[in-house]
């Protein structure tokens, strides 16, 4: 299973590179929707020895590029520039591939440096082969050579490819159709046939004959892909790129993302950021940039950009779950990036069902996503949590205009729906699917989200003077809180049950104290978190979701569940234990610093890499570590 250890994005163009260095995902114009990626792979031909190799078959290493410390001696900067290094002593060459997406303009840039390590002069030809599944399929595509450009297009999606130096070999052709493998096969004899145009299921390959390289010398090729909704838009980007010093673009990117990250370091919650260990600071910055890549300019926040998961379930994680998006937005708000979250709350108001609830999940464009839930597709926590996130946004931003603008389209209908969803016989929300989306029932986590949502709605009603709604929602919140404690806290067990009639220990029970059903120092909170740690700790030190979890393996460790336990210890003032769990998440990240959904018993990432929720929970845990260090402990309201 090839995960995505390198990702690059700007809110409109999102590109993912797999573990072999192949570009797999190419999302545009939404972050996480319309994946035009098939593959983009590199090959090398030795003209003297007449042999060919695809670089993904060589030994390799991958990481994000780090700048040297500045004159102040500050730590290395975390960038949004990735590098894949290939090694082959047998072939006698090393290849370094540097990649980035520009922070403003929609293009993907790769710089390939080929070094001769053979001990004698070499004559090499570099190839790049690319297949685009434009609009997520490979039919009715066109690939055509246009002077120094080789373009792919379909309907209103254009991809202009060009390079410096300009390629001296090219071809287009049919791929993935009957017995036609693709033009990548043509590269393996070292010479491309030069077919100018192809349509249907197509790919293209371009090549560069490198100058003769003495032993130890290198040659450099810059290759870029500019995208647009029409040819003119893509061509304008191409002309801009062609006019630039391409090496300087990497420096500009590093400076831009350094400036972006510095905002967090100057925010009040992170005022003692410099006191953190280097590995924690690096992981925080990487988490911040990774989360940013998952945010669309229209406000959607997808769960993961890794499309490899489709091989197992014929679907993706490239949807906006209101639950995940709310947790991510809260982390960004607390890190000082409130401006990034405003569009997310507007997005929530646009996708809310007219009856006042959120459905299962949505595309980045705001359309209803695929589901395995029967109608009406309600997970009630997904309606409560966005209200809580919006109130937390108010606490950070103090902009009453935001609350006023969203009160009628979001707060009132969602809060009224939460009230209507309460069973008058029990005082609890009616049965709905749990946060893991596996079972229907009445669960403590969901009840905590409903309580927090109603309590937050009441606070926001008070802010704008709607006292009738405030009283109604506050009363409903108190009713849910009291009923949850009465029906789900078991004094004999000394802890909360997962749900009505369900004694399973589940890591999501952290919500009973984190969202305010009971205070953190309440015996019910302590007993619940002790059970989570005692029953869900895995041999590697991580925390599983719940007892007997079978998803992608038996009781795999989940970074976000492990970090929930870290937050518990930090709230109780045990900074040493909290930091040890934070560092567990770092040590179980991929080499580039991306955090997966889960980790198996062999310490390998499982399911998707990265998961935005894992990274946002890491950010939150680090923020709460610094606050605890300053004597400020988590309070939900």
Given this model, what pLDDT does residue 586 score? 98
Element (H, E) at 598: strand 598-599
Q: What is the DSSP string of 198-222?
A: EEESEEEEEEEEPPPB-TT-EEEEE
Question: For 3-7, 317-321, 420-424, 579-583, which range has the lowest pLDDT when averaged over its residues?
Answer: 3-7
What pLDDT sits at residue 71?
42
So what's the pLDDT on residue 72? 41
Average pLDDT, stretch 49-57?
Answer: 97
- Amino acid 73: pLDDT: 41
Q: Six-digit token pair at 50?
A: 């007449």
Kind of pairing between the strands at 432-433 and 218-228: unpaired
Report residue 265's pLDDT band, with 50, 70 and 90 as the boundaries. Answer: confident
The structure tokens 């894949």 sit at: 84
Q: What is the pLDDT of residue 313?
A: 61
Mean predicted lDDT score pLDDT of the chain = 95
Condensed to tens digits (0 to 9), the pLDDT of residues 320-358 reads 999 999 999 999 999 999 999 999 999 999 999 999 999
359 touches 371 (CB < 8 A)? yes
234 has a pLDDT exceeding 60 = yes
* Strand (E) or helix (H) holding 115: strand 107-116
The structural architecture, per CATH, of the domain 265-629 is Alpha/alpha barrel (1.50)
Alpha-carbon separation of residue 28 from 15, 73, 296, 341 (angstroms): 9, 39, 10, 21
**Token pair recorded at residue 17:** 């590179």
Tell the burial category of 248 from Cβ atoms under 10 Å away from its Cβ (0-12, 13-18, 19+). exposed
Write out the two tokens for 548.
């007997």
Banded model confidence at residue 264, pLDDT cuts 50, 70, 90: confident
pLDDT at 69: 47
- Output the pLDDT for position 262: 83
The confidence score (pLDDT) of residue 1 equals: 61
How wide is the angle at C-alpha 441 spanned by C-alphas 382 and 621, nearest 5°? 45
Lowest mean pLDDT, pick from 16-25, 89-98, 261-270: 261-270
CA dihedral (547, 3, 25, 87) in degrees, to 10, reads 170
Residue 262, number of CB atoms within 10 A of its CB: 13
Residue 225 has pLDDT above 50, yes or no: yes
Q: Concatenated DSSP letters for 389-429?
A: HHHHHHHHH--HHHHHHHIIIIIHHHHHHHHHTB-TTTSSB
Neighbours of 577 (CB within 10 A): 16
Tell me, rounded to whole angstroms, the distance of Cα 156 from its chain centroid: 26
> Where does residue 613 rank: exposed (0-12), middle (13-18), buried (19+ CB within 10 A)?
buried
**More confident position, 314 or 5:** 5
Q: How far is CA 189 from CA 69, 87, 133, 208, 287, in A?
A: 45, 21, 26, 14, 43
Rounded CA gap, 524 and 493, in Å? 10
SS3 332: helix
Q: Which range is least confidently modeled, 63-72, 86-95, 356-365, 409-418? A: 63-72
Contact call for residues 42 and 54 (beta carbons, < 8 A):
yes
Average pLDDT score over residue span 259-266: 81
Is there a cis peptide before residue 165, judged by omega within 30 degrees of 0?
Answer: yes
Answer whether residue 275 shows pLDDT above 70.
yes
Token pair 């893509």 is at which residue?
Answer: 234
What pLDDT is attached to residue 314? 72
How many Å is the Cα radius of gyration of the chain?
A: 26
pLDDT given at position 178: 80
Q: What is the pLDDT of residue 594?
A: 97
Q: Band the pLDDT of 67: cuts 50, 70, 90.
A: low
Determine whether domain 6-233 maps to CATH 2.60.120.330: no
pLDDT band at 70 (very low <50, low <70, confident <90, very high): very low
The pLDDT of residue 227 is 99
Tokens of 226: 């500019």
Q: Which part of the chain has CATH 1.50.10.10?
A: 265-629
* b/e per residue 525-564 (b: at least 16 CB within 10 A): bbbbbebbbebbbbebebbbbbeebebebebbbbbbbbbb
Average pLDDT of the residues in 415-441: 98
pLDDT tens-digit profile of 537-586? 999 999 999 999 999 999 999 999 999 999 999 999 999 999 999 999 99
pTM of this structure: 0.96
CATH 2.70.98.10 domain range(s) in the chain: 6-233
Judge whether 209 and 169 are in contact, CB under 8 Å: yes
Q: What is the pLDDT of residues 342-398, one digit of tens each?
A: 999 999 999 999 999 999 999 999 999 999 999 989 999 999 999 999 999 999 999
Is the peptide bond prior to 336 cis by the omega test (within 30 degrees of 0)?
no
* DSSP output for 476-524: HHHHHHHHHHHHHEETTTTEE-SBTTB---BGGGGHHHHTTSS-TTSHH
Q: For the residues 199-227, what does the mean pLDDT come to?
A: 97
Asked if the model's pLDDT at residue 75 lies above 60, the reply is no
Write the DSSP symbol of residue 156: T
């Amino acid at each position: 299973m090839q995960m995505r250890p390198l990702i690059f994005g700007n809110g409109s163009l999102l590109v993912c590179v797999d573990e072999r260095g192949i570009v797999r995902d190419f999302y545009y114009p939404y972050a996480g929707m319309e994946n035009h990626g098939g593959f983009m792979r590199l090959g090398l031909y030795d003209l003297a020895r007449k042999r060919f190799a695809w670089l993904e078959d060589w030994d390799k290493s991958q990481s994000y590029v780090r700048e040297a410390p500045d004159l102040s001696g500050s730590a290395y900067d975390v960038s949004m520039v990735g590098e894949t290094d290939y090694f082959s002593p047998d072939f006698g060459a090393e290849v370094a591939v540097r990649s980035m997406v520009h922070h403003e303009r929609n293009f993907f840039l790769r710089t390939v440096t080929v070094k001769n390590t053979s001990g004698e002069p070499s004559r090499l030809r570099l190839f790049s082969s690319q297949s685009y599944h434009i609009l997520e399929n490979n039919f009715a595509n066109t690939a055509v050579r246009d002077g120094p450009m080789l373009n792919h297009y379909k309907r209103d999606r254009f991809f202009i490819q060009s390079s410096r130096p300009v390629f001296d070999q090219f071809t287009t052709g049919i791929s993935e159709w009957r017995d036609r493998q693709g033009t990548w096969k043509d590269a393996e004899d070292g010479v491309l046939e030069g077919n100018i145009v192809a349509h249907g299921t197509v790919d293209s390959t371009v090549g560069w004959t490198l100058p003769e390289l003495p032993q130890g010398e290198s040659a450099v090729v810059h290759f870029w892909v500019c995208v647009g909704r029409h040819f003119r838009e893509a061509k304008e980007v191409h002309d801009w790129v062609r006019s630039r010093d391409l090496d300087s673009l990497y420096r500009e990117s590093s400076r831009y993302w350094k400036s972006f990250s510095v905002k967090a370091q100057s925010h009040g919650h992170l005022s003692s950021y410099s006191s953190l260990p280097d590995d924690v600071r690096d992981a925080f910055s990487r988490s911040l940039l990774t989360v940013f890549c998952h945010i669309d300019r229209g406000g959607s926040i997808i769960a993961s950009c890794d499309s490899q998961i489709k091989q197992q379930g014929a679907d993706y994680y490239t949807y906006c779950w209101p639950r995940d998006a709310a947790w991510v937005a809260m982390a960004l708000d607390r890190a000082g990036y409130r401006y990034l979250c405003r569009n997310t709350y507007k997005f929530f108001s646009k996708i809310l069902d007219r009856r006042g609830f959120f459905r299962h999940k949505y595309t980045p464009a705001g359309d209803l996503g695929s589901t395995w839930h029967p109608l009406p597709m309600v997970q009630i926590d997904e309606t409560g949590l966005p209200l809580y996130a919006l109130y937390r946004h108010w606490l950070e931003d103090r902009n009453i205009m935001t609350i006023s603008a969203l009160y009628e389209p979001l707060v009132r209908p969602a809060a009224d729906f939460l009230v209507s969803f309460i069973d008058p016989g029990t005082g609890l929300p009616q049965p709905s699917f749990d946060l893991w989306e596996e079972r229907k029932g009445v669960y403590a986590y969901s009840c905590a989200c409903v309580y927090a949502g109603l309590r937050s709605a009441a606070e926001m009603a008070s802010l704008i003077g709607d006292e009738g709604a405030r009283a109604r929602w506050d009363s409903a919140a108190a009713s849910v809180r009291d009923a949850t404690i009465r029906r789900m806290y078991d004094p004999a067990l000394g802890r909360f049950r997962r749900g009505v009639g369900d004694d399973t220990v589940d890591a999501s029970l952290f919500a009973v104290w984190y969202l305010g059903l009971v205070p953190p120092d309440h015996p019910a909170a302590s007993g619940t978190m002790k059970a989570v740690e005692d029953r869900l700790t895995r041999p590697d030190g991580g925390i599983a979701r719940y007892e007997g979890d079978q998803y992608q393996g038996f009781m795999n460790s989940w970074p976000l569940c492990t970090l929930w336990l870290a937050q518990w210890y930090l709230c109780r003032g045990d900074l040493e234990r909290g930091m040890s769990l934070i560092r567990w998440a770092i040590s179980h990240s991929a080499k580039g610093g991306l955090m997966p959904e889960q980790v198996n018993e062999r310490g390998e990432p499982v399911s998707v890499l990265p998961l935005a929720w894992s990274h946002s929970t890491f950010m939150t845990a680090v923020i709460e570590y610094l606050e605890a260090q300053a004597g400020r402990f988590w309070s939900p309201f």
